[in-house]
Amino acid sequence: MTEEEYNLAWKKSIEKAIESLDINGWDRYYNSSIYDVSYNGKLYPPKVVFREATEIFAKDFPQESIPSLSGGIPTNKFLEKIGFPVKSKYLNIDIGDRPIFKFSMGDYFKSTRFTKFNIVERLEKLNLISMHSATKKGQGIYFTNNLKIGDYVYITYGKDKLGPLCKITSEIIELPDDIKKDIDEEGYQARSIKIIAEPIVNNTIKLSQDKRAWLPSGYSTLYEVADINEANKVLFNKYYKVNISSERLQQQPLEWEYEEETFKIILSKHPLNKILYGPPGTGKTYNTKELAVQIANPDLIFDDEISTYEKRKIVNEEYENLVSNGQIVFSTFHQSMSYEDFIEGIKPETNNGDVTYDVVSGVFKELCEKAGIKSSSNFEEVLSKFKQHLIDNEKVTINTGNIEFDVYYKGGKTFKINPKDSKNKNPLYPASIENILKMYQNTPGEGMYNPSYVKGILMHLYSNYGLIKYDSIQNDEIKNHILIIDEINRGNVSQIFGELITLLEEDKRLGNKEALEVVLPYSKEKFGVPPNLYIIGTMNTADRSVEALDTALRRRFSFKELMPQPHLLKNIEFNGFNLREVLEAINNRVEILLDRDHTIGHSYFINIKSNDTKALTAAFKNCIIPLLQEYFYHNYEKIALILGEGFVTVKDTKDIHFASFTKVTLEKPDVIKKFEFINEINDIEKAIASLLNKPVTLQNEG
pLDDT for res 445: 54
* Helix, strand, coil share of the chain (percent; to 5): 40, 20, 40
Q: Output b/e per residue, 318-327; b: 16+ Cβ within 10 A.
A: bbebbbeeeb
Is the confidence at residue 290, as pLDDT, over 70? Answer: yes
Q: Give residue 226's pLDDT band: very low, low, confident or very high (50, 70, 90).
A: confident
Local structure of 332: helix, strand or coil = strand
The runs of H, that is alpha helices, within 604-681 are: 613-619, 625-631, 636-643
- Strand residues in 352-410 grouped as ranges (E): 354-361, 395-399, 404-408
pLDDT for res 265: 31
pLDDT digits (tens, 9 = 90+) for 11-42: 999 999 999 888 888 776 567 767 888 888 88
Residue pair 103/153 in contact (Cβ under 8 Å)? The answer is: yes
User: Taking residues 608-614, what's their average pLDDT?
Assistant: 94
Residue pair 43/32 in contact (Cβ under 8 Å)? The answer is: no
Q: What contacts 701, CB < 8 A, 6 or more positions away?
A: none
pLDDT digits (tens, 9 = 90+) for 238-268: 888 888 888 765 333 322 233 333 333 333 3
The Cα 427–Cα 430 span in angstroms is 10
Q: Give residue 473's pLDDT band: very low, low, confident or very high (50, 70, 90).
A: low
Sign of the torsion angle spanned by Cα atoms 52, 57, 62, 68: negative
Cα→Cα distances 97→148, 170, 215, 277, 299, Å: 12, 18, 21, 47, 22
Sign of the torsion angle spanned by Cα atoms 636, 638, 639, 640: positive
Q: Give residue 407's pLDDT band: very low, low, confident or very high (50, 70, 90).
A: very high
pLDDT for res 103: 94
pLDDT for res 350: 67
Q: Comparing C-alpha atoms, which of 155, 226, 136, 139 is closest to residue 196?
A: 155
Query: Residue 532 carries which side chain, given as an amino acid letter?
Result: N
pLDDT for res 255: 28
Is the confidence at residue 393, as pLDDT, over 70? Answer: yes
pLDDT for res 671: 56
User: Which range scores top for mean pLDDT: 420-424, 438-442, 446-450?
Assistant: 438-442
pLDDT digits (tens, 9 = 90+) for 340-354: 889 988 887 766 666
The Cα 685–Cα 612 span in angstroms is 10
- CATH node for 93-251: 3.10.590
Cα→Cα distances 156→104, 169, 323, 693, Å: 5, 19, 28, 58
Burial of 686 (C-beta count, 10 Å sphere; 0-12/13-18/19+): middle
Q: Kindly state the percentage of the chain with pLDDT values over 70.
A: 86
The Cα 563–Cα 219 span in angstroms is 30
Query: Cα–chain-centroid distance for residue 386?
Result: 25
Residue pair 701/653 in contact (Cβ under 8 Å)? The answer is: no
Q: Comparing C-alpha atoms, which of 377, 360, 325, 342 is closest to residue 535?
A: 342
pLDDT for res 608: 93
The Cα 294–Cα 292 span in angstroms is 5
The Cα 369–Cα 249 span in angstroms is 27
Burial of 614 (C-beta count, 10 Å sphere; 0-12/13-18/19+): exposed
Q: What contacts 451, CB < 8 A, 6 or more positions away?
A: 435, 439, 444
447: left (phi over 0), alpha (psi -120 to 50) or beta: left
Is the confidence at residue 524, as pLDDT, over 70? Answer: yes
Q: pTM surpassing 0.75?
A: no
Query: Cα–chain-centroid distance for residue 218?
Result: 15
Query: Cα–chain-centroid distance for residue 198?
Result: 32
Mean pLDDT of the chain: 83
Cα→Cα distances 447→350, 357, 451, Å: 23, 15, 9
pLDDT for res 443: 64
Query: Cα–chain-centroid distance for residue 319?
Result: 7
The string of DSSP codes covering 448-517 is -SSHHHHHHHHHHHHHHH-PPPGGG--SPPP--EEEEEETGGGS-HHHHHGGGGGGGSGGGSTTSTT---
The string of DSSP codes covering 169-191 is -SS-BPPPHHHHHHH--TTEEEE
Q: Give residue 678's pLDDT band: very low, low, confident or very high (50, 70, 90).
A: confident
Is the confidence at residue 476, as pLDDT, over 80? Answer: no
pLDDT for res 238: 84
pLDDT for res 544: 67
Q: Comparing C-alpha atoms, which of 412, 409, 413 is closest to residue 393?
A: 409
Radius of gyration in angstroms for the set of CA atoms belonging to the chain, rounded to a whole number: 33
User: Taking residues 316-344, what's their average pLDDT?
Assistant: 88
